[in-house]
Structure 1
């Protein structure tokens, strides 16, 4: 057995690799939400830009490595008593050692790298401009599926659409489930009638048909009021939107449930083409899954459309959701428009800067110009290459130390 007590560098390396590996493993499952990296969003956009290199695990690795070095410095702080310095100087140098010096150097170096990425100018060619309006309907979920809630949804979103259309927007984005009805019933709504009248593209959140089941979907209505594309939410909230291990318990659930239909996820490899080019689509919980955005960016997605409904929660959770979308905008180097039911709706630039953010539990409309981009960050091209590299290096060094100790 190899003891790592005398191998502090290897301890830090293995700890960083294992932490990133566990986060990768956890994020591959259905119960993922927070990463250590999100402690830096939105208040440290410079270090968050490391996500452009290898995704959020780059930021996580930086945090774990620096804190690991600080911990090693603390456990080895007694080394100074062997230094040949006067007792008067001992107190001043007691808490200074090589681990803290390296941790400080690493902290500064990583922030410099992030600052270089953060400082790059963002091209805004006029031909790539897209003026998008968002509507925050502010309809409590307890009302949304009632007749009164549907009436208010029709009124709020139709009025908001007409207001934004008169402001000269190119398209309007609505939240997840803005109209709580099925695709087959959308064409008869006042909102779609307004789309036909004004000729402004609309992305409308509603339910999609999928055989005997249904999906949470975002539909693109073109200037003629016709559906030209559809994106189905592929990451569903466990227990809230689906039953885990349904293939095992599905029969029992069906017998206990009074509903004939149930919610199903969309496919994992969807693309979302719009009249303005390919978009990166995200519906609510999917903001927590960077691979969803990376794949769509690699497939040609030029801007982000995030449609959510966080009305179930207190204001702190929607702010976390906003922080997630900031990470996704930075990692993919894309502009982002985010529409929610009750907040926080927002517009973001590719550096994660919030151009505008709504109030909470308010009805609002807002228009902002975003720009379509076709750049590809290292993360978009290669995915999370850092985590397997850390695991390989730490495993290799551990094996080297083991062999050396046995000889």
Structure 2
């Protein structure tokens, strides 16, 4: 192993870049839908050994000496994000005649930009690099900090954070209720990188002990949480989740809108199967209503006729303000709650929009070059001001998140703090049967665990599901299936720790690894001197 690691350390030039790229791409197999987390015990040790050799000339300034470390981390990140996000380009092929030109931007440009975060991570790690276990702590701190920044900078895009690789099943998700994603990302990189110690054998026994303790604690805590008897049920909601599997090629086709709407009504109105109660809540996916209610008020009457006494529909719609089709109209990607009288009882607009997909940043500048939003849709959206919970007929509070809003841990935790249910409506049909919908669902699943709340998820083509507060899938519909889920959803749990405490714990974990890295770095420099 020493000889193998030595050969990696001595790589230079394009060979070093290629191996870093391949190591990053390999790590994607730890994410959904593959969930082969063992590959990270290869990818991250390889990254450690590459960084062992990422040294500049002694005569160079400190910035120039960090260039090899940045390049190594950037190539690792480029491989990771290219292999993990290539499916974004699928959305541009729905209307290929109009948007195929943007494929390089989506498939290569986004990974190119995100890779800078991992380049930053390895630069931070290299500042405190040592020849022992201290460098493992430094890398964990660097990645923990980079993943946190990826969540908050430039509107944020924390997709496929490294910590999800350590949570492929509910048994291994429970620790996030204590550490939060900040701590989970940091701990995951530390654990995955520890096998790098077998090369030099310094602190090998300590590393093996820490690996065993952390893995045992991770698994043991999950087992205890899942084995614990559920709290007594205090309240519940009977829900029907509709998955219409509408072809996006027809989504905004005026000639088939009535058929799409009839499909939604038909699935919603079906009598429940034997043994299931009549649903109190019916849930439709993101932008499922194929027209504006301002243009088709008869649709509200049809929904009211479909709903029985005491039932409520929560549906994803495009909501218009400012008049029907006027130049000054504003459009929102929204969910609306419709009561059994066919009245809109509440509405919540999407707050965190997708850049270039739902709105065009610097629209005036891009329009000069003939660039519009890069995903086909009826219009550009405006962002909502705030999110609030929707009150259901039985008094429960459901807080809705539209599409990728659910991937932001802090956003969900803050807004769901006083809610009883998490609702996620999405339309992942843009991405077909690729890894994208499965990755999206996994992140939503982890939000349920973090917050100790049931998750009700409706997707146009999947993955629609009911997830319990421990992340276990109660029922689900496969990608591209058409149908409905009927489920009795008890509501009795709360988060194991508050969002604030999880955030503090995560930052403390990151700080612990930072201090450990500094201590080992100072110790090594004192020895050398």
Compute the TM-score of the two structures, normalised by the length of structure 1. 0.84
Distance 1:195 1:378, change over 3 A: same
Matches within 5 A, 1:5-404: 5-6=130-131, 8-28=132-152, 29-41=155-167, 43-71=168-196, 73-77=197-201, 97-125=205-233, 127-163=234-270, 168-185=278-295, 187-189=297-299, 191-195=302-306, 198-211=309-322, 212-246=329-363, 249=365, 252=368, 262-275=380-393, 276-298=395-417, 300-315=418-433, 316-373=435-492, 375-397=494-516
Q: Deviations over 1:331-371 (max 9, x none)?
A: 11111111111112111111111111113322202210112
Q: Distance in 1 between matches of 2:311 and 2:272?
A: 6
CA contact (8 A) 1:51 1:57 kept: no
Q: Deviations over 1:264-305 (max 9, x none)?
A: 12235544333332212111111211222201221x110111
Distance 1:251 1:149, change over 3 A: same
User: Which one has more relative contact order, counting CA pairs under 8 Å at least 6 apart?
Assistant: 1
CA contact (8 A) 2:184 2:506 kept: no
Q: Distance in 1 between matches of 2:291 and 2:492?
A: 33
Q: Distance in 2 between matches of 1:255 and 1:97?
A: 57
Q: Deviations over 1:135-169 (max 9, x none)?
A: 11111111011123311221111112211579511
SS at match of 2:430: coil
Distance 1:143 1:221, change over 3 A: same
CA contact (8 A) 1:208 1:217 kept: yes
CA contact (8 A) 1:195 1:202 kept: no
SS at match of 2:463: coil
Distance 1:284 1:260, change over 3 A: closer
Out of 281-290 and 195-204, give the one that drifted further.
195-204
CA contact (8 A) 1:229 1:274 kept: no
Aligned pair count reads 384
Q: Distance in 1 between matches of 2:498 and 2:369?
A: 40
Q: Deviations over 1:11-67 (max 9, x none)?
A: 2222212211111111113433211122244x3322211111132233322321112
Q: Distance in 2 between matches of 1:384 and 1:131?
A: 33
- In the alignment, structure 2 segments of 5+ residues that lack a partner are 1-61, 63-126, 323-328
Q: CA deviation at 1:195?
A: 4.4
CA contact (8 A) 2:183 2:510 kept: no
Distance 1:397 1:256, change over 3 A: closer
Out of 303-312 and 108-117, give the one that drifted further.
108-117
Q: Distance in 2 between matches of 1:115 and 1:179?
A: 42
Instruction: Report the counterpart of residue 88 of structure 1 in structure 2.
Output: none
Distance 1:398 1:254, change over 3 A: same
Distance 1:250 1:74, change over 3 A: same
SS at match of 1:234: coil
CA contact (8 A) 1:164 1:366 kept: no
SS at match of 2:429: coil
SS at match of 1:228: strand
Q: CA deviation at 1:102?
A: 2.6
CA contact (8 A) 1:30 1:235 kept: no
Q: Distance in 2 between matches of 1:287 and 1:336?
A: 11
Q: CA deviation at 1:403?
A: 6.6
Q: Distance in 2 between matches of 1:236 and 1:119?
A: 39
Distance 1:134 1:399, change over 3 A: closer
- In the alignment, structure 1 segments of 5+ residues that lack a partner are 81-95
Distance 1:69 1:118, change over 3 A: same
Distance 1:256 1:197, change over 3 A: same
